[in-house]
A and B are shown apart, each in its own frame.
Chain A
């Protein structure tokens, strides 16, 4: 199970990087979204996957089969933050398009030149 997830993470990272290198800003945003999903999955995979395991102890403190609850808490935070960042990116893209009328990353050179 971890192996499948690991391969999926790899594919997501590769796809995200490919999209980042395209010229369109929409694809740049999509690339960042994919990479942030892949990162969230890394967090999810961090403690190993336990099937049918609960994330809490029995009343007497014992447990039969347990998953680590911490990565799940972390991933929840990371998803929320990622959502906020994506919303900001899309707003930025919209504003950028409205003011410059272009979606082409190659048109962004002017702040690089002196």
Chain B
């Protein structure tokens, strides 16, 4: 019941916010209450999941494995929680930063529709159903990215839309071939059938189609070009929302799907994924280093950070996958936070360009503090969350004796630090006489735009300081993800 309401409530909220669009104040407050309700609901789901391991709903009471099965395990639960939290923060941040035009043009409606797609993708264990949730998600994101109708947005949107449609077509073709080969679409049933089958490695040719589909979504190395070309075009709350949710759904699907396929041809997948992970990390961070626009630096960083998650998956040990999940959570919070701080910088100075920025440390020391927390978190300094993330990824690669990729991961984190320092030096420390601040004066900053930034900063620190209980939970989650028999039995005969 709770799982279904996780999908149905955002739908209801989308409809209600669409009806309220003329009364802006009522609209904002109701959206805030809705988002809080979802966070509470997902908190309860995490609690339930740590008691019962799996929450399962057979939609329409079809017998397993014929119908659509919705199942929440620890990994899904924690992803659901973090995504609804991000939506809450983004809604608070949008309060005064988004213009009334956006609220009138169904901005919040599509935020909730996007959340519905994301929740569905995290919940379902049926591959075709996953495709449908992907479509719900990308359709809402298409609307959000084009909502302002500026020339820049439309240019970015053409690339974004094309690549995302192609990715779901690859995914769909994969579903067709997979069904032809195995006769099932349920992931638990698929895992069971592959374990019993003799030539399970033959599934690889199909799995690559899935890999390309999910790979475009999660922006891994040769497929990421749409991301930095489009993410900086919409208004900042939308960029922050996308950076927190969309690519991570791709990574989540890779984790879920490849955990079924991986064991049947371990040699191939390990080498393949390690190569992809290394290249994603290096290319992402090097291209970020050459940029001078804050949002574009951060966009390229998303790509680089995805590499760490793929690395955790490639190792395919319980520790590796737990590290990947931790890294994903850390990245969702810290990256969204960094984007929101970039928005504050733009609000104060009127520009995202590092060359035009300067003196911020002197004139606005609190802004420097806000930026320092996610920046140090992303670069991986203790006690912030990024440190634990990087440490566990590196520890997992030492444990699996993958020393080359470990070296790459360490070097890449230095480069990450380099580009964070670059934003710091150029934006905060540089003496710049030519900043046109005199024109702008000092724009008044609303409490609503500072609150989410401060909260996410606290989360970043808390995730680093209280890493142990969280990491223990994630270790359980990764063991659960690897335990295919348990997954099958839980879905077949739910409690």
Q: Which residues of A contact B (CB under 8 A)?
A: 20, 25, 28, 32, 35-36, 39-40, 42-43, 45-48, 70-71, 74, 77-78, 81, 84-85, 88-89, 92, 95-96, 99-100, 105, 108, 110-112, 114
Cross-chain contact A28 with B165 (CB below 8 angstroms): no
Residues of A within 8 A of B291 (CB): 114
Interface 9-residue window, one of B1-9, B45-53, B228-236, B331-339 = B228-236
Contact between B166 and A81, CB atoms less than 8 A apart: no
Given A28-B162, A92-B161, A112-B229, the answer on whether A71 and B154 have CB atoms closer than 8 Å is: no
Question: CA A111 – CA B180 in complex, angstroms?
Answer: 41
Are the CB atoms of A110 and B155 closer together than 8 Å? yes
Known: A85-B165, A92-B158, A110-B152. A42 touches B233 (CB 8 A): no
A46 and B179 within 8 A (CB):
yes
Q: Quick one: given A111-B233, A114-B293, are A45 and B176 in contact (CB under 8 Å)?
A: yes
Return chain B residues, CB-CB under 8 Å to A36. 165, 169
Contacts of B341 in A (CB 8 A): none
CA distance A114 to B146 in the complex (A): 21
Taking CB atoms, residues of chain B closer than 8 Å to A114 are: 290-293, 296
Q: A93: nearest residue on chain B (CB-CB)?
A: B158
Cα A72 to Cα B449 with chains together (Å):
49
Asked whether B132 lies within 8 Å of A77 as measured between CB atoms, the reply is yes
The answer to whether B151 has its CB under 8 Å from any CB of chain A is yes
- For this complex, 23 residue pairs linking A to B, each with C-beta atoms less than 8 Å apart, are A39-B169, A39-B172, A40-B172, A43-B179, A70-B185, A71-B176, A71-B179, A74-B176, A78-B131, A81-B135, A84-B135, A88-B139, A88-B161, A95-B146, A95-B149, A96-B158, A99-B149, A110-B152, A111-B152, A114-B290, A114-B291, A114-B292, A114-B293
* Bound CA span A110–B150, Å: 13
Of all chain A residues, the one with the shortest Cβ separation from B232 is A111
Complexed CA–CA distance, A70 and B293 (Å): 49
Chain B residues near A84 (CB, 8 Å)?
Answer: 135, 139
Closest chain A residue, CB of each to CB of B66: A70
Q: How many whole Å from B105's CB to the nearest CB in chain A?
A: 14
Instruction: Give the dominant DSSP class at B's interface.
Output: helix
**Which of A28, A78, A95, A99 neighbours the largest number of chain B CB atoms within 10 Å of its CB?**
A78
Q: Which of B294-338 contact A (CB under 8 A)?
A: 296
- In the complex, A111→B135 CA distance in Å? 25
In the complex, A4 Cα to B162 Cα: how many Å? 29
Is B361 interfacial (CB 8 A cutoff)? Answer: no
With A42-B176, A74-B179, A84-B139 known, 12 other A-B pairs at CB within 8 A are A32-B162, A39-B169, A42-B173, A43-B176, A46-B177, A70-B185, A74-B128, A88-B139, A89-B165, A92-B157, A111-B229, A112-B229
Which residues of chain B in 110-167 are interfacial with respect to chain A, using CB atoms and an 8 Å cutoff? 128, 131-132, 135, 139, 142, 146, 149-152, 154-159, 161-162, 165-166
A25, A43, A92, A110: the one contacting B172 at CB < 8 Å is: A43
Cβ contact within 8 Å between B175 and A74: yes
B154 → chain A, closest Cβ, in Å?
5
Q: How far is the CA of A100 from the CA of B156 in the complex (A)?
A: 13
With both chains docked as a complex, state the minimum distance between the C-beta of A97 and any C-beta of chain B, in angstroms: 9
* Residue from the list B131, B142, B155 in contact with A100, Cβ < 8 A: B155
Q: Are B132 and A81 within 8 A (Cβ)?
A: yes
Q: Which residues of A contact B229 (CB under 8 A)?
A: 111-112
7 A-B pairs closest in CB distance:
A43-B176, A46-B180, A42-B176, A46-B176, A96-B154, A111-B156, A39-B169
Task: Give the CA-CA distance A89 to B162 in the complex, in Å.
Answer: 9
Please give the distance in Å from B357's CB to the nearest CB on chain A: 15
Question: How far is it, in angstroms, between the C-alpha of A46 and the C-alpha of B139 when the chains are bound?
Answer: 26
Question: Within the assembled complex, what's the spacing in Å between the Cα atoms of A40 and B290?
Answer: 42
A100 and B154 contact, Cβ closer than 8 Å, known pairs A47-B179, A88-B139: yes
Q: Across the interface, which residues of A come within 8 angstroms of B139, CB to CB?
A: 84-85, 88
The minimal Cβ–Cβ distance linking A40 to chain B, given in whole angstroms, is 8
Q: Report A-chain residues with C-beta under 8 Å of the C-beta of B128.
A: 74, 77
Q: Cα distance A36–B168 when bound, in Å? A: 9
Question: Does B177 contact A42, Cβ atoms closer than 8 Å?
Answer: yes
Provided the pairs A78-B172, A85-B139, A114-B291 are in contact, do residues A25 and B158 lie with their beta carbons within 8 angstroms?
Answer: yes
